[in-house]
């Protein structure tokens, strides 16, 4: 979503949907068990305890289990060789950098 820095990913986004005018959770999944329709409409999350440990974040497509999405995953590094992780990288680059920075393996 477009939540501002410091907003809890387990809370609500600071705006409502421009389609159905209902709030939505800051973290969303493309598919999974969090798909809910109540009385023919999307669930109004302001009426549920979205901070509960067992709450399932909203999803757009109903599936029993969420699948891995195609979105970018942030990787952060601090310390020696941290400069090797910056910007966007292919996923096969990350284990190579980890091995190189740890001085293990063929490198």
Q: Which residues are annotated as a binding site?
A: 68
Q: Which residues are annotated as a binding site for Zn(2+)?
A: 68
* DSSP label of 26: S
Strand partners, 59: 29
β-pair type (29-32, 37-38): unpaired
Residue 32's closest CA among 68, 70, 2?
68
């Amino acid at each position: 979503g477009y939540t501002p820095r410091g907003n809890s990913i387990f809370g609500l986004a600071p705006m409502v949907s421009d389609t159905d005018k209902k709030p939505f959770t800051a973290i969303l999944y493309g598919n999974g068990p969090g798909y809910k329709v109540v009385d023919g409409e999307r669930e109004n999350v302001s009426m549920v305890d979205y901070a509960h440990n067992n709450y399932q974040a909203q999803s757009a497509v109903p599936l029993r289990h969420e699948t891995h999405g195609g979105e970018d995953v942030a990787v952060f590094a601090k310390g020696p060789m941290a400069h090797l992780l910056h910007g966007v990288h292919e996923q096969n680059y990350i284990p190579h950098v980890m091995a190189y920075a740890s001085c293990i393996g063929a490198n």
